[in-house]
Structure 1
Amino acid sequence: MDTNLREIIAQIDAYSAEKTLPTAKTTALFHSLLSDAVAKATSAEADGTFFVKTGDIPAMWLRDATFQVLPYIKLMKAVPELKNILIGVLRRELRYVQHDPYANAFNQTASGAHWSDDDSDIPVSDLVWERKFEIDSLCAPLFLALKLYKNTDNHDFLDDEFWQTLSVTMTVLETEQHHDQSSYYFKRVDCPANDTLTNDGKGTPVGYTGMVWDGFRPSDNACEYGYHVPSNMFLVAVLSQITPLIPTEFSALKVRVQKLVKAIKQGITHYAMVTLPTGQVGYAYEVDGLGHQKLMDDANVPSLLALPFIGYTSIDDSIYQNTREFILSKQNPYYYEGKILAGIGSNHTPEAYVWPISLAMEGLTSTDPAVKVAQLEKIAATDNETDQCHESVSVDDVSQYTRDWFSWANMTYCELALDVLGV
């Protein structure tokens, strides 16, 4: 680790040491975790960018990396040197997207390491760890760029490289509006059914909706129906905010973005607004444009629970509140209750395991300070004396959990802690 990173870590630790949360346990965990992403996950690269591994897996997920460094946006005034790291993470994300916009996770170097040896039949480069197409992977750099834009005065990072990467992104998104005409496929053998796509790697059939087809959910599990609604909403949120920033020399790109946003919005209204089991109108999790709907929510962000957090809607929006009521109930097949915990899990992890990320998101999407504090305390109680927020935790036994080190969960806890602190 270089000297500059050590100095930044020391400044982050000094900042956190001055903060006190409602309980000793929540405070201690915050002090332990705030520097986690820089201290343990981030590496400075020779080209001035920064590689951020997801935790106990050595690859960089575009989605995870954005959410891992997101709390540092709020710390830039206290630790100004964080800006260079955040821009460096953004630039590495942009270069990964340019290298392969269909990939979700990348190696630090072109080592040829892949998640699975079975991926040899997929057109995957030596720099790519995994080539699952997930819309949120393309949204993540835009989300990070927007947060930087709103919290800094120098916007030099919105340069030609940025807009050219957006053009690459748009080409893929436009292609996947018509997935039946796309060359993308993903086939993996000797794996769980949700780790590969059916129909010879093309996924279940879909009809045109205006939305963008998605191969895999943010959980990295295959979509049951091809239009993942929260990811399309994430697209609307980031592209709508990016549009006014597109310079005049990229006017054709601006027109493309506006056209896509309009089509997705129409698709959401026509196909994704449904009658929930509660009898209220809300959002489906997935649809296929052929009459099928998946009514659920998953812990991974973007999720229906996280819609206000990703900038798609307001917390008090009635359709969102109807959806929230449904997904935070046993009518959501991935909502679990036990002796210790209640919350949203995922088919990516065992049944009756709740994700601290979703517990944090409950707090981050609530206007009630008491709820925020309660969620912070719930998460802190799940660390099993490891000073870590795990991927998922049994609702009955906190000693049963997945992943020893999951940096995204750690930093989402810190995001909620900073919210509670009013930062």
Structure 2
Amino acid sequence: MADLVREVTETVAQRTDERTTAVFRRCFADTLEATMTPLPDGTVFVLTGDIPAMWLRDSTTQLAPYLHFADAHPALADLLVAINRRQLDDIAHDPYANAFNAEPNGAGHQADITDSSPRIWERKYEIDSLCFPLRLASDIHRVTGRTDHLDARFVDGVRRVIELWRTEQDHENRSTYRFERHDAPSTDTLVREGRGSLTAPTGMSWSAFRPSDDACAFGYNVPGNAFAASVLRDVEHLAIDVLDDTELAAEAASLREEIEEGIRAHGVTETASHGAIYAYEVDGLGGRLLMDDANVPSLLSLPLIGWCASDDPLYLATRAFILSPENPTFFAGTAAYGLGSPHTPEEYIWPIGLAIEGLTSTDVDEKRRIIDTLLRTDAGTGVMHESFHKDDPSLFTRPWFSWANAMFCELVLDVAGLRTLDRDPAAVGGVR
């Protein structure tokens, strides 16, 4: 992959500046050179950085900058397929788990009260964890035209995901999933003996935890469900165009429509200052949470995950709320301003959130401003971190976080005109 890194970095150098290129090169090479381990079964394990486990979500987002070049580099496409097959095998092992070990060695959170196994690092159920591997499979096909990875393993994974999401549409009456972690912060465990806060059916599918791995305050994570709806549309297209499976296409379409209607009916709320906006979480009983989280899927990332266009009026109103002091996770300081997360300390801003802000902006100058902010706040390390203090970037969390590096690369590729894979706004299911 050295040729790929060199070729792309040379083009970035021609279209940006020396400092941007230096950090880009280091971040772009990071996942390829330092996180991947080929396994005896032909699949590839991807660790998240400074935690020796493979998250279904992170291992997809870490690959985002490489997808744009997979068609011209067959070896890269083979690598992406090998990783995707590992993800699908993990889903087959347990679709409720979010992070896995390279082998059944019992590493990770084995003391949690849940139905775990030695292969599982952590069994926090997050709806988005199941979205990402299916999106990666679809994107590999979109970029390269390959279909060999859309095999029985893929179809089995899709059916497991649909079955689980159907079950979790009525978590109270149909789900057996439970999760408790003792001697931990409240965000690391579920209330009501591991069942989570009370919910009522909405059409959306329940999630125990957010993309941050923090427990949901209310059971229906709106951006997670929007991502699920978008991914189900991917499944519909693949079922018809590649798999010739009209039954699977119909199953995906039916569930997608129910989730979309649930978001329309329950996930949109009126505010005094911004009008109608998306809530971050709801419970179907009148409870709602108005905030956003820097982890993806987020409300800020809705165009990026394929839910709506970046100029959609409801999205723009939600975006205005997210990037304002009314959002409790928006922080402004002397070093930077941007989106943070309850997962990290108060007043810490996430480079991932900044990158998503840039990637969903239609203003090229704003994108460049955010790149400059990211370069100024790396504490001289030449890489991105999980989060940093709004007034003092030398205070940061996670010295090695491959997902953040990947999102920096995505924004640089965007500004350099090298980011070619985007969702089609005409094919998404946003609120009209």
Hey, what's the Cα distance between the residues in 1 that align with 2:12 and 2:233? 35
The residue type paired with residue 187 of structure 2 is N
The answer (yes or no) to whether the contact 2:168–2:175 under 8 Å persists in 1 is yes
- For residues 358-377 of structure 1, the aligned pairs below 5 Å read 358-377=353-372
Which string of whole-angstrom CA distances, capped at 9 and with x for unpartnered residues, describes residues 245-276 of structure 1? 21566433322212111111111111011113
Q: Is 1:155 aligned to 2:150, yes or no?
A: no
The residue type paired with residue 292 of structure 2 is D
- For residues 171-210 of structure 1, the aligned pairs below 5 Å read 171-180=163-172, 181-210=174-203
Hey, what's the Cα distance between the residues in 1 that align with 2:64 and 2:276? 32
Q: CA deviation at 1:387?
A: 1.5
User: What secondary structure is seen at the aligned counterpart in 1 of 2:388?
Assistant: strand
Q: Is 1:316 aligned to 2:311, yes or no?
A: yes
- Tell me the equivalent position of 2:39: 45
- Tell me the equivalent position of 1:68: 62
- Tell me the equivalent position of 2:102: 108
Q: CA deviation at 1:277?
A: 4.2
Q: Is 1:328 aligned to 2:323, yes or no?
A: yes
User: In terms of mean alpha carbon deviation, does 203-212 or 22-31 score higher?
Assistant: 22-31
- Tell me the equivalent position of 1:401: 396
- For residues 14-25 of structure 1, the aligned pairs below 5 Å read 14-20=7-13, 21-25=15-19
Counterpart selection for 1:412 from 396, 407, 417: 407
User: What secondary structure is seen at the aligned counterpart in 2 of 1:261?
Assistant: helix
The residue type paired with residue 392 of structure 1 is S
Count of residues in correspondence between the two structures: 414
Q: Which runs of 5+ in 1 are unaligned?
A: 1-7
Q: Which runs of 5+ in 2 are unaligned?
A: 419-432
Q: CA deviation at 1:318?
A: 0.2
The answer (yes or no) to whether the contact 1:9–1:38 under 8 Å persists in 2 is no
The answer (yes or no) to whether the contact 2:71–2:143 under 8 Å persists in 1 is no
Counterpart selection for 1:215 from 182, 204, 208: 208
The residue type paired with residue 399 of structure 1 is S
- Tell me the equivalent position of 2:429: none
Q: Is 1:306 aligned to 2:298, yes or no?
A: no
Q: CA deviation at 1:14?
A: 4.0
Which string of whole-angstrom CA distances, capped at 9 and with x for unpartnered residues, describes residues 172-205 of structure 1? 1110001012100110100001110001100000
Which string of whole-angstrom CA distances, capped at 9 and with x for unpartnered residues, describes residues 334-384 of structure 1? 000111110000010000000000000011001111111111111111111
Which string of whole-angstrom CA distances, capped at 9 and with x for unpartnered residues, describes residues 65-104 of structure 1? 0000111011224533110111111111100001000000
Hey, what's the Cα distance between the residues in 2 that align with 1:28 and 1:13? 12
The answer (yes or no) to whether the contact 1:62–1:105 under 8 Å persists in 2 is yes
Hey, what's the Cα distance between the residues in 1 that align with 2:384 and 2:202? 38
- Tell me the equivalent position of 1:3: none
- Tell me the equivalent position of 1:137: 129
Q: CA deviation at 1:18?
A: 3.9
Hey, what's the Cα distance between the residues in 1 that align with 2:379 and 2:206? 39
Counterpart selection for 1:125 from 106, 113, 117: 117
- For residues 377-388 of structure 1, the aligned pairs below 5 Å read 377-388=372-383
The alignment-based identity, stated in percent, is: 45
Aligned-residue Cα RMSD (Å) equals 1.3
Counterpart selection for 1:276 from 268, 271, 279: 271
- Tell me the equivalent position of 2:417: 422
